[in-house]
Amino acid sequence: MKVWKLAYPYLGSSRITLGPLLQPLLLIVSLALFHLVGPLPPELGVHNGSLSPCPSAAHCARADWAVSNPEEALTQLISVVESMPRTTLVKRGEDYLHATASSSLFGFVDDLELYADHDRGQLQARSVSRMGDSDLGVNGRRLASLGRALRPT
């Protein structure tokens, strides 16, 4: 059993004993602090026939790819998104996909959206970080990778 000795200038010294059940709990809480999820962005989804614009280019990327069949293009990219590391599909519909991707080190969460816009003949894509002022280009690289995977339909 670990014993930590804490010194308080006005209270003298005291000892804290961490029992066998408290030690794993302390470890779990400490690790959870590094998984920086952040709140779900309210602008997710399709609004007026389009994905939301990026609030800032520093932590968001957006692309519109002209395709002959947007639904087929979306279906084609689903397997690509599912194979991306640390990526989880959250919502999948006929013309919309929402996934989350976590960074490997601190667990920062980004939201990825794809929308098959059949009226405009395009597949819209948006990737945005939930926390921070900069994504260091991660969202742009994610969309560039999806764009390369998109074969002409």
Domain that holds residue 28: 2-34
Same domain, 77 and 121: yes
In this predicted structure, the answer to whether residue 47 has a pLDDT above a threshold of 70 is yes
22 and 82 inside one domain: no
Question: Which residues neighbour 27 within 8 Å (Cβ) at sequence distance 6 or greater?
Answer: none
Question: Within a domain: residue 92?
Answer: yes
In a domain? residue 39? no
Q: Is the confidence at residue 2, as pLDDT, over 60?
A: no
| pLDDT at position 11 over 60 | no
3-state secondary structure of 4: strand
Tell the residue number behind the tokens 């004993």, with chain if given.
17
* Count of structural domains, the chain: 2
Nearest to 62 by CA among 111, 2, 7: 111
Regarding whether 26 and 66 lie in a shared domain, the answer is no
pLDDT tens per residue, range 74-119 = 999 999 999 999 999 999 999 999 999 998 878 889 999 999 999 9
Do residues 55 and 39 lie in contact, with contact meaning Cβ atoms separated by under 8 Å? no
d(CA 12, CA 17): 17
Within this chain, do residues 90 and 28 fall inside the same structural domain, yes or no?
no
Mean pLDDT in the chain?
85
- Token pair of 79 as six digits: 């397997």
Residues 6+ apart with CB under 8 A from 10: none
Q: Looking at the structure, do residues 121 and 145 belong to the same domain, yes or no?
A: yes
